[in-house]
Amino acid sequence: MRVWQRSTSVRLTWMVVLASSFAGIVALPTWAQESESVGESERRSVGESNLPIHPSTHSPATTVTDWIAQLETSLVQITGVQVEETATGLQIVLETVDGDLAVSETQSIGNALIVDIANATLAEEFSQAEPIEGIALVNVTALPGDRVRVAITGTDAPPIAEVTSDAQGLVLAVTTGGAETVAEDDAIQIVATGEQADDYYVPDASVGTRTDTPLRDIPQAIQVIPEAALRDQQATRLGDALRNATGVNSTRGSGDRADSFVIRGFEIFSGNVLSNGLPDRTLTETRDLYNFERVEVLRGPASVLYGLGNPGGTVNIVTRQPLAIPFYEVEGTIGSNELYRGAVDLSGPLDESGALLYRLNVAYQDTDSYIDFIGSRSFFIAPVVRLAIGDNTTLTLEGEHSRRTIDSRSVVVLPAVGTVLPGPDGRRIPRSRTVYEPDGNTEIETTRIGYRLEHQFSENWSLRNDFRVAFERNRDNDQSFFLGLDADGRTANRSTYSSDSDSNIYNLTTDVVGRFSTGSLEHQLLFGVNLSRLDNFNNFGIDLAELAPLDIYDPVYRQPPIGRIDTVYEDGSRLTDSLGIYLQDQIAIADNLKLLLGGRFDLFEQTNRDFLSDTRESQSGDAFTPRVGIVYQPIPPISLYASYSRSFNPTEGRAADGGVFEPERGTQYEIGVKAEVNDRLAATLALYDLTRSNLLTVDPDDSRFSIQTGEQRSQGVEVDLSGEILPGWNIIVGYAYTDARITDDNTFETGNRLTNAPEHNINLWTTYEIQSGDLRGLGFGLGLFYIGDRAGDLDNSFDVPGYLRADAALFYRRDRLRVALNVKNLFDENYFVSVSGRDFVLRGDPFTVSGTVAWEF
């Protein structure tokens, strides 16, 4: 009997044993040691060479005792920032209550002097424009990895700072400097967001709790794909980004109209995609990645925070926000298949005080495809404006507009016979072949508008109110439709159609977050209310015509139609309203023991109208979704966790007796280990048992109806590591074992594997950038993405072979210039990204190359 088929208690015992073993392995201290050359690189400064260096950064541990002692060093909180004019320039005081601050690194870029402080936190970020003549801006921000950055921008040249300590805290005596103080070889690239441009490790994510909580304190597997990785890979769509996420299988190609993907064995569509924490249920649009700051992936159910959705996982897109320091970038790309792309990123203050900031991202792309007759053109613009309304309130206005046109067919599917399976006489359909006509196109237009209001009542209590409305219009004009192959394995039957689809999506969410104590227990409480509406209209089957059959091995296109089809298949609308109320409490029982409790109650109502039959059908329901988790940290860098969570998704239709179906349910048990190898590198091991229940199956007494007896189960192991191994060497690597099967069904055999859910999935992306010398700024990247064998259909009548795809990158960064050459599918592997039956096969992209030049000014 398989281990996975035993009782839940036995499975969890086995998981705990593996998790404990992993914790012991990760806790070895050898990787915490640093070379002497690293310390020397970080000691370089501009203007001052005798700045104090933090001992934990430059005294590598040589024993377990030393290593643990360094990790347990208490953080020093900067409680306030004072800026005062002096006779010689400016004095900046970083106030603390207890503990000494120490500078770990200084660097100068352009007119800015950057001072980084290790082992510190910041109570409140600080910014002041033009405090004295010659100084344009003083900015104090928090960085990942318990660091604080002070950025002092000179008007004409970088300033010079002498750093000393006194009873108040750390004091920076600043004087304006001359241009000769900066040596080009000593300049290190800085981005104006206050985060390093090459960060591959992001220690925090909002998707797991809707609060600012370190990943190590969240009892669920979460992975963040940072902007640095998206840039190095030249990713332009969500599917490209999610190749880096452990256990995530992207199921669409570059020419498709939509992104979809499988997480933990279950396919995810728009209901599980968020934008800045709000559900974004646009069904078919492929979003441009140019304004993405990062992509957060929460694996497992998330209905407790975000309402209805599938249980496999949730993806949160975090977009770029306005910057306090002016930043301007232009970028151009050319590549295979006549790819031409241009983009602009502009940001900075709109007034002298810095209270009004903006950001504008614009991108345009025109490309053909390796598939005959397929091409696309897209335009994207995303403006953001942020206004500081007093000291404790900010209002952010955000907008996005995109328009995309796809020639011929927006999703190019082929039959399994001739692709995955041999065709007649063992023949294979050429990679560039299509069964669709050259004429016709798809037009997709999407507009998003919204605001985010944030108010800090006090040091411990805050409010956030978000609203967004999205309008999406999809139009298919004279498109072909593949109806299947004849028995000869080469004759494709087809028709043409046109369709219209419009969606209006509204979301309003209000969160209140507060910190308080009850005795020795520290609480972080989240209370929220969400209102949403999805109004969708769909007309499918306009101008239907029966096309002449096509020989897929010797095609003749543009033959006259052989008949008309007068039937309109679908003409109707769907209106879904939902209200969700949720409560979450993050309880610190002790410094190393944390409890997470959460629950959400949802009410939903759906109204379906069929204009063809002039009928209207309504159904409503409710659902409660809990989550419970615990985190134990035997030493600060190691977190052992366990959690239980559920999800729900409304089920359409009615039973034979007229009864309304219960919502589909997801139930997950998960345990794991999270390890912060150092402040730049982290690893996660997760083991889970995830069940999807209340699925519809055919009613054995009346095949016209359904019953809710279906069940599917996914069980697996995931391991990932991301961050900086050594200075300049970044990595994202993961392995996932997934056993996703049918456990109850009236149509398919119990035990059959789910489609597009490989048992083995490996992702690796790593880059190295030379840090010094004449070749400083030159970098290399390598990616390996392995997807194992998959079931071709739910009958498991055939298998889809696995594949190994290799990507590569060569880039150069110096000062304001960035040049990159990216290769995808380096060895031209012929593979299949998605197979969901004998008439639905999507091929992967062949070898492609692109070159990019970007300039900051």
The C-alpha angle 775, 780, 786, rounded to 5 degrees, equals: 170
Return phi, psi of residue 295, to 5°: -125, 125
Q: What was the pLDDT predicted at 800? A: 96
User: Is 706 inside a domain boundary?
Assistant: no
Highest average pLDDT, of 114-128, 167-181, 743-757, comes from: 743-757
Residue labelled with tokens 């304006």: 176
Tell me which residue of 508, 342, 373 sits closest to 438, measured CA to CA: 373
**DSSP per position, 276-318:** TTEE---SS-----TTEEEEEEEES--HHHH-S--SSEEEEEE
Q: Going by C-beta distance under 8 Å and a sequence separation of 6 or more, which residues neighbour residue 772?
A: 41
Residue 23's closest CA among 594, 641, 736? 641
Kind of pairing, strands 313-319 and 273-275? Answer: parallel
Q: What is the pLDDT of residues 686-727, one digit of tens each?
A: 999 999 999 988 888 777 778 888 999 999 999 999 999 999
Mean local confidence (pLDDT), 791-807: 96
Higher pLDDT, 522 or 286: 522
86-95, 625-634, 684-693: least confidently modelled range: 86-95
The larger pLDDT score, comparing residue 391 to residue 356, is at: 356
DSSP helix/strand/coil, 271 = helix
Express as a percent the part of the chain with pLDDT over 90.
57
Output the pLDDT for position 638: 97
Q: What per-residue confidence (pLDDT) applies to 198? A: 59
End-of-domain residue from the set 186, 201, 228: 186
Distances (CA, A) of 539 to 515, 613, 616: 50, 14, 16
Q: Are residues 144 and 226 in the same domain?
A: no
Q: Are residues 41 and 176 in the same domain?
A: yes
Do residue 44 and residue 144 come from a single domain? yes
Average pLDDT over residues 793-806: 96
Residues 180 and 234 in one domain: no
Task: Using the predicted structure, report yes or no on whether residue 607 has a pLDDT greater than 60.
Answer: yes
* Phi-psi category of residue 787: left, alpha or beta, with phi > 0 → left and psi -120 to 50 → alpha: beta
Helix (H) or strand (E) holding 21: helix 8-26
Both 177 and 79 in a single domain? Answer: yes
Phi, psi of 66 (to 5 degrees): -65, -40
Mean pLDDT of 678-687: 94
Lowest mean pLDDT among 107-121, 184-198, 307-321: 184-198
Whether 388 and 355 have beta carbons less than 8 Å apart is answered as yes
Q: Decide if 606 is inside a domain.
A: no
Number of folded domains that form the chain: 2
Low-confidence winner among 269-283, 418-432, 704-718 (lowest mean pLDDT)? 269-283
Question: Do 273 and 158 belong together in one domain?
Answer: no
Query: Is residue 100 assigned to a domain?
Result: yes
Q: What pLDDT is stored for residue 190 in this prediction?
A: 32
> Count of CB atoms within 10 A of residue 65's CB?
10
- CATH number, domain at 46? 2.60.40.3500
Task: Kindly report the CATH number assigned to the domain that includes residue 228.
Answer: 2.170.130.10
Cβ neighbours of residue 124 under 8 Å, at least 6 residues apart? 80
**What per-residue confidence (pLDDT) applies to 224?**
95
Mean pLDDT of the chain: 85
User: In this predicted structure, what is the pLDDT of residue 802?
Assistant: 96
Please give the pLDDT value at position 33: 37
**Given this model, what pLDDT does residue 255 score?**
63
Domain final position from 274, 302, 319: 319
Q: How confident is the model at residue 197 (pLDDT cuts 50, 70, 90)?
A: very low
Q: Please, which pLDDT band fits residue 567 given cuts at 50, 70 and 90? A: low
Residue 35 has pLDDT above 80, yes or no: no
Does 134 reside within a domain? Answer: yes
Give me the residues paired with residue 724 across strands.
730
Determine the pLDDT at residue 288.
86
Angstrom distance (rounded) from CA 120 to CA 142: 9
Look at residue 59 and tell me if it is in a domain: yes
Q: Could you read off the pLDDT of 340-351 as tens digits, one per residue?
A: 999 999 999 999
Specify if 328 maps to a domain.
Answer: no
- Give pLDDT, residue 17: 39
Q: Does the pLDDT of residue 746 top 70, yes or no?
A: yes
Same domain, 105 and 228: no
pLDDT in tens, 773-797: 899 999 999 999 999 999 999 999 9
Q: Is residue 229 part of a domain?
A: yes
Distance, in Å, from the CA atom of 424 to the CA atom of 418, rounded to the nearest integer, reads 8
**pLDDT (0 to 100) of residue 168:** 67
Residue type, 114: I
Answer with the one of 298, 319, 340 that is the final residue of a domain: 319
Q: 765 falls in which pLDDT band (50, 70, 90)?
A: very high
β-strand partners of 263: 248, 266
Do both 54 and 177 map to the same domain? yes
Of 217, 327, 211, 182, whose CA–CA distance to 277 is shortest? Answer: 211
Whether 434 is covered by a domain: the verdict is no
- Comparing 168-172, 458-462, 659-663, the range with the smallest average pLDDT is 168-172
Does one domain contain both 181 and 231? no
The winner for highest mean pLDDT among 12-26, 168-182, 378-392, 701-715 is 378-392
Q: 305 is in which domain, residue-wise?
A: 215-319
* Residue 2 scores a pLDDT above 70: no
DSSP class of 4 = G
Average pLDDT (396-415) is 92
pLDDT band at 568 (very low <50, low <70, confident <90, very high): low
Residue 11 clears pLDDT 50, i.e. is over it: no
Confidence (pLDDT) at 553: 95
228 and 176 part of one domain? no
The pLDDT-based confidence of 254 (bands split at 50, 70, 90) is: low
pLDDT at 251: 84
In this predicted structure, what is the pLDDT of residue 542? 64
Based on the fold, state whether residues 176 and 47 are members of the same structural domain: yes
**CA 468 – CA 450 distance, rounded (Å):** 4
Count of other CB atoms within 10 angstroms of residue 318: 22
Looking at 178-187, 513-522, 638-647, 818-827, which range is the least confident one? 178-187
pLDDT in tens, 472-519: 998 988 888 898 999 999 999 998 888 888 999 999 999 999 999 999
Q: Which helix (H) or strand (E) covers residue 83, if one does?
A: strand 76-85
Co-location of 132 and 242 in the same domain:
no
